[in-house]
Chains A and B, each alone.
Chain A
Amino acid sequence: MEKISCLMMGNQAIVRGAIEAGVKVAAGYPGTPSSEIIDTLSKTAPDIYTEWSVNEKVALEVAAAGSFAGLRSLAVMKQPGVNVAADFLMHLALSGTRAGMVLVAADDPGALSSINEGDTRLYSKLMGIPLLEPGNFQEALEMTKWAFELSEKLKSLVILRTVTRLSHASGNVITGEIKKEAKKAYFEFNGNMLDPLTGIVTTIPVSVKHSLQHEKLQQAGEIFESSVFNTYVGPENPELLIITSSICNLYAKEAVDVLNLDSKVAILKLGTTWPLPSKLIQACIQKTKQILFVEEIQPFVEENIKVLSAGFPDKFGPKAYFGKLSGHIPMTGELNPDLVIKSLEQIFTLELRAFSSSYKKKADKTLENCTPAREISFCPGCPHRASFFTINKVLKLDNRNGFTCGDIGCYSLGILPGGFSTIKTLHAMGSGTGLASGFGKLSQFGMDQPVISVCGDSTFFHSGIPPLVNAVHNESNLTMVILDNSGTAMTGFQPHPGLSTGTGGEPAPEVDIEQVCKAMGAATCICDPFDLKKTENILLELLKKKGVNVLILRQICTLSPEKKGKKYFNILIDEQKCKGEDCGCNRICTRIFSCPGLIWNKEKNKTMINDILCTGCGVCTQICPADAIKAKAC
Chain B
Amino acid sequence: MISKKLKHDPYNLIITGVGGQGNVMSSRIIGNMLSSSGFYVTIGETFGASQRGGSVMSHVRVSSKNVLSPQIPLGMAHMVVSLEPVEAIRVLSSYGNPDVKVICNTQPTHPIGVISGRLDYPSQEKIEKSLKDLSSRTWLFNATNIAMGIGDPIFANIIMAGALSAAKELPLDKNNFKTSMETQFSADKIKQNLMAFDHGINMVNSQ
CB within 8 Å of B: which residues of A? 2, 5-7, 32-33, 112-113, 136-138, 164-166, 168-172, 247, 250-251, 253-255, 258, 336-338, 341, 355-356, 359-360, 362-364, 366-367, 369-379, 410, 412-413, 418, 490-491, 559, 587, 590-592, 594-596, 598-600, 602, 610, 612-613
Contact = CB atoms under 8 A, between A and B. Distances in A.
A590 B117 contact: yes
B75 A490 contact: no
Interface stretch (B91-99, B158-166, B184-192, B198-206): B91-99
A476 B101 CA distance: 62
A523 B88 CA distance: 52
Contact of B153 (A359, A364, A590, A612): A612
Interface string B78-101: 000000001101101100111000
B112 A377 contact: yes
B138 to A, nearest CB: 13
Given A371-B89, A372-B114, A376-B52, 18 more contacts: A112-B46, A113-B50, A137-B67, A169-B42, A171-B41, A251-B69, A355-B74, A356-B97, A367-B89, A367-B93, A372-B122, A374-B53, A376-B53, A378-B52, A491-B48, A590-B116, A591-B117, A596-B109
Contacts of A166: 70
A165 B48 contact: no
B171 interface: no
B128 to A, nearest CB: 11
Given A363-B96, A376-B53, A596-B110, A247 B70 contact: yes
Contacts of A418: 112
Which range holds the interface residue count of chain B?
35 or more
- Which 4 residue pairs spanning A and B have beta carbons closest together? A113-B48, A32-B48, A169-B70, A372-B119
Taking each of B20, B35, B122, which has the highest tally of chain A beta carbons within 10 Å of its own beta carbon? Answer: B35
29 contacts: A6-B35, A7-B31, A32-B47, A32-B49, A112-B49, A136-B67, A137-B42, A164-B46, A171-B67, A171-B70, A247-B70, A254-B68, A255-B73, A336-B69, A337-B69, A337-B71, A355-B74, A371-B122, A372-B86, A372-B114, A374-B53, A374-B86, A374-B90, A379-B52, A410-B52, A596-B53, A596-B112, A600-B114, A600-B117
Nearest to A378: B52
Given A171-B42, A370-B86, A600 B120 contact: no
B46 A113 contact: yes
Contacts of A113: 46-50
A34 to B, nearest CB: 10
Contact of B35 (A172, A338, A369, A610): A172
B172 interface: no
Contact of A356 (B54, B72, B98, B133): B98
Nearest to A111: B49
Given A7-B43, A254-B73, A172 B67 contact: yes
Given A7-B32, A596-B112, A359 B134 contact: yes
Contacts of B53: 374-379, 596
Contact of A375 (B86, B113, B120): B113
Nearest to A366: B130
A5 B35 contact: yes
